[in-house]
Amino acid sequence: MIRYIIRRVLFLFPVLVGVAFCVFTLLYITPGDPARMILGDMATEEAMNRFRQTEGLNDPFLVQFGNYVLKAVTKGDIGRSYVTKRPVMHEIMQAFPSTLKLAAFAMAIAVIVGIPCGILSAIKQYSFFDVITMIFAMIGLSMPVFWLGLLLIILFSVQLKWLPSSGFDTFKSMILPSVALSAQAISMVTRMTRSSMLEVIRADYIRTARSKGQKESVVIWVHALHNALIPVVTICGLQFGALLAGAILTESIFAIPGVGRLMVESIKARDYPVVQGAVLFVAVAFSIVNLLVDLAYAFINPRIKAQYK
């Protein structure tokens, strides 16, 4: 198990280098002059040249990228913000708790709602409940997050005045953004749970458990669900990573000071170090979530744990 974890962590480095190279290239070829954006239209050409020289923007592309990777590996320095002049990691760590809290709340809603709905849909296949659940799951998958967020604000904040439309300090302020962000995750978890349960409940060992006189609740919640959890855990892990990376629109709509909103503001300001650092940070978070999901398999299925050994 330890050897497997070390191998996965080592595989993380080439992934991060690839992500850094892609983001660095996209930002390098993006039209716009960071010096002009930062210093303003009234800045002199001399001041802009001095800014470019200080920040290394006049160096060739490979030199800039090499210096960036070298500082990140040797010093843990992923740059300083052009706007605030503070370390990029400091900016990200200030914003990340809000993003993590939002993604955790959204994922909790997806699990609490999606898994029971998927189980009931599988047990009552083709029933009225199953049809309605699958209709709502398709709507949830198709509905854009920004549109759902705006609808929730109009209904619950503007019309009913039940919940605040912005902020993330109180429990009430967490409800609307968490629900908006969790819609697609609920749909994915529901559909995957239903599909996995339908495969399992037709297996021979389920019929054997029923023939031995086991209660239906024990058959479903112990025998069937335990063996159907592998793909469900996989989709939950992938969705949690996607929620960490995909909260940009939700944070912008609800004015949440998270990593997504930080990225949007940094893109507008051509603050390239913050954009690169935020994307790298999200890539690391996504990779760690996938590693934890793989390790969770061993606790769900003993056969997988034997493979690690």
d(CA 283, CA 281): 5
Q: List the chain residues with pLDDT less than 70.
A: 1, 4, 246, 298-309
63: in domain:
no
Asked if the structure places residue 110 within a domain, the reply is yes
For residues 117 and 133, what is the distance between their CA atoms, to the nearest angstrom? 7
- How does DSSP classify residue 203? S
Which residues contact residue 21 at a Cβ distance below 8 angstroms, ignoring those fewer than 6 apart? 65
Q: HSE, CB side, 13 Å, CA atoms: give it for residue 109.
A: 20
| 80 in a structural domain | no
pLDDT of residue 112: 93
- Please tell me the distance from the alpha carbon of residue 245 to that of residue 296, in angstroms, as a whole number: 21
Q: Rounded to whole angstroms, how far apart are CA atoms 73 and 129?
A: 54
User: Is residue 44 included in any domain, yes or no?
Assistant: no
Q: Could you tell me if 188 and 235 are in contact, meaning their C-beta atoms sit under 8 angstroms apart?
A: yes
Quick check: 71 and 78 in contact, CB under 8 A? yes
pLDDT given at position 284: 80
> Tens digits of per-residue pLDDT, 211-243?
877 787 778 877 787 778 888 888 888 888 878
Residue carrying structure tokens 């470019």: 52
| 282 assigned to some structural domain | yes
Domain that holds residue 119: 96-308
Q: Tell me, what CATH number does 121's domain have?
A: 1.10.3720.10
CA distances, 226 to each of 48, 94, 295, 297 (Å): 62, 39, 16, 11
Q: For the chain, where are the alpha helices, taking DSSP H only?
A: 2-29, 34-39, 45-55, 61-74, 88-123, 128-142, 145-152, 171-200, 204-211, 216-218, 225-245, 248-253, 259-268, 272-300, 302-308
- Which pLDDT belongs to residue 135? 92
**Closest Cα to residue 241, out of 279, 288, 278?**
288
CB 289 within 8 A of CB 248: no
Domains of the chain: total: 1
Residue 54, domain member (yes or no): no
**Does residue 157 sit within a domain?**
yes
Burial degree of 123 (CB within 10 A; 0-12, 13-18, 19+) = middle
How high is the pLDDT of residue 260? 83
Is residue 10 situated within a structural domain?
A: no
